[in-house]
């Protein structure tokens, strides 16, 4: 059993975004698996760098969808994304400077943040997008 299992409840109904969310789950699981194997140095360095890069990629995609469809909570959503990226960059900076970090606390933070964000904020935009009338989530997948 993985540290952080993907479940259907996390689906936002947009294949590309769901796929990217699943990749984020895999990155958190990879981080957790590596620290469990006591390979903390590699986990902290590689996985934090990968998380920063991939979250920025995913957030750019997601934010473009929200902007294109006039999502009314767009600014709030973008702000939450920026806060996570800054937090992970802070973890990375602290690690690189030799300041003590507890890897399990980082893994738990990432799991809780991602779960809470998808089940809360992302589900809000799912409802918004579905309510657009002529809008179809299947059509949205083809637009990108």
Specify the CATH number for the domain of residue 56.
1.20.120.50
Give the pLDDT mean for 119-133.
83
Within a domain: residue 4? no
User: Could you give phi then psi for residue 5, rounded to 5 degrees?
Assistant: -90, 135
Question: Across residues 98-109, what is the average pLDDT?
Answer: 80
Give just the sign of the alpha carbon dihedral 78, 84, 88, 91: positive
Per the structure, the complete domain to which residue 108 belongs is given by 14-143
Tokens for 2, please give them. Answer: 């993985």
User: Are 20 and 60 a contacting pair, CB within 8 Å?
Assistant: no
Identify whether 7 is part of a domain: no
- Is 59 part of a structural domain of the chain? yes
Whether the predicted pLDDT of 13 surpasses 70: yes
Any domain includes 51: yes
Contact criterion met (CB below 8 Å) for 21 and 58: yes
Radius of gyration of the chain (CA): 16
User: What is the model's pLDDT at position 52?
Assistant: 86
Q: How confident is the model at residue 143 (pLDDT cuts 50, 70, 90)?
A: very low
- For the stretch 29-80, pLDDT in tens is 988 888 888 766 766 777 788 888 888 899 999 999 899 889 999 999 999 9
Q: Domain for residue 2, yes or no? A: no
pLDDT tier for residue 103 given thresholds of 50, 70 and 90: confident
Tokens of 16: 């590309």
Domain total for the chain?
A: 1
Say if 129 falls within a structural domain. Answer: yes
């Amino acid at each position: 059993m993985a540290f952080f299992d993907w479940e259907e409840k996390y689906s936002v109904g947009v294949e590309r975004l769901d796929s990217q969310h699943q990749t984020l789950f895999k990155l958190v699981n990879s981080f957790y698996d590596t620290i469990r194997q006591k390979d903390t140095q590699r986990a902290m360095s590689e996985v934090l760098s990968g998380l920063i890069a991939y979250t920025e990629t995913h957030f750019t995609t997601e934010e473009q969808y929200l902007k294109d469809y006039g999502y009314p909570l767009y600014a709030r959503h973008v702000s939450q994304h920026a806060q996570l990226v800054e937090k992970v960059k802070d973890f990375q900076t602290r690690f690189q400077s030799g300041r003590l970090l507890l890897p399990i606390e980082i893994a738990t933070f990432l799991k809780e943040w991602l779960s809470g964000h998808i089940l809360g904020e992302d589900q809000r935009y799912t409802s918004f997008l579905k309510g657009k009338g002529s809008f179809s989530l299947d059509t949205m997948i083809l637009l990108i």
